[in-house]
Amino acid sequence: MRTATALVLLALLLLAAVVVAAGVGPYRIAPPDVAAAMLRRILGRPAEGPVDTVLFSIRLPRVLAAALVGAALAAAGAAYQSLFRNPLVSPDILGVSTGAGLGAVLGILLGLPVAAVQLLGFAGGLLTVATVAGLARALRGGGDVLVLVLAGIVIGALAGASISLAKVLADPYDQLPAITFWLLGSLSGVKAGDVAATLPAVLAGLAPLVLYRWRIGVLSLGDDEARALGVDVARLRLVVIGAATLATSAVVAISGVIGWVGLMVPHMARLLVGPRFDRLLPASVLLGAAFMVAVDTLARSAARIEIPLGVLTALIGGPVFVVLLARGRRRAAA
């Protein structure tokens, strides 16, 4: 019952964040007007004046993109934390962000159009994690979480070095700012078409996590215990890695690299609904979406220039995380 209440509250929080965020900007729209315009759209009534234009062609695509990014990163983070039995793990532990970064940076370096850069970012993320999983398998039959993490660190370092090399080679007046901006994360260039193109991949990534929600929770007990309880650990681990990587790569392709969300949001969600993964997943999705909508609104309205999202999430995430750790320590000591 308490879980249901928490989920309803989180859904309302997300809705409120979307309505407020859609109104914030150079052309201010009051929340009631936003709600009225959205209702008109849903009911199929004719649009009224500039409000609808601003809302549906400029604001809402970006707000929805933010919600999608937050939801995907938080869900992937929650899944990885359960998989690696460690609440300090984030979606990029297997190098998905760095790999996506490398793909996108190569695209920028080659002067490709935006859509191709996004596609390369997506492919880079998938390819990196596939390489990590393959390397771990070659080293020790793929059965060992520690080997997986070490392989992630090694491949991530290689991708990071390649990114640095690409930055050195890039045109400092044109390409370098684009690369830097991309590596810090931003939704400023997002269009409605990007959201529509990303949604299927994110849904395809989230679906297995939802379907296997109970077994993924059992996985957090450790390999031997989960297997003794009847879970096919090797297969499920592959499914979770694939699903979380797909969702993460898809959103990183449109937003660039955004840290901290996948680490911090599941932590906060766990405080609300407890550690059971079947409850943690929906709570993380809703909270991650609301959080990212809020952060992106701050990013585009707090200063004259756009603040990179990665900078904001780190500024917020770092202190919040310290507070969470201190609370956890106090609880453990009590």
CA distance 143 to 15: 42
Q: How far is CA 233 from CA 30, 204, 221, in A?
A: 51, 21, 11
CB of 131 to another protein, least distance (A): 25
154 binds another protein (CB under 8 A): no
Number of residues that bind another protein (CB under 8 A): 28
Other C-beta atoms lying within 10 Å of the C-beta of residue 24: 17
Q: Please report, as residue ranges, which positions from 268 to 307 form the binding site for another protein (by CB under 8 A).
A: 270, 274-276, 278
Q: Please report, as residue ranges, which positions from 207 to 246 form the binding site for another protein (by CB under 8 A).
A: 211-215, 217-218, 220-222, 224-225, 227-233
Other C-beta atoms lying within 10 Å of the C-beta of residue 177: 13
In our burial notation (b when 16+ CB lie closer than 10 A, e otherwise), range 133-160 reads: bebbbeeeebeeeebbbebbeebbebbe
CB of 264 to another protein, least distance (A): 16
CB of 184 to another protein, least distance (A): 31
Cβ proximity to another protein: between 50 and 274 the closer is 274
Cβ proximity to another protein: between 142 and 275 the closer is 275
196 binds another protein (CB under 8 A): no
Rg of the chain on CA atoms, in Å: 20
Cβ proximity to another protein: between 115 and 207 the closer is 207
Phi then psi for residue 72, to 5 deg, are -65, -45
Q: Please report, as residue ranges, which positions from 61 to 90 form the binding site for another protein (by CB under 8 A).
A: 82, 85-87
| Residue 169: Cβ-neighbour burial (10 angstroms; 0-12, 13-18, 19+) | exposed
Give the residues lining the site for another protein (CB under 8 A): 82, 85-87, 211-215, 217-218, 220-222, 224-225, 227-233, 270, 274-276, 278
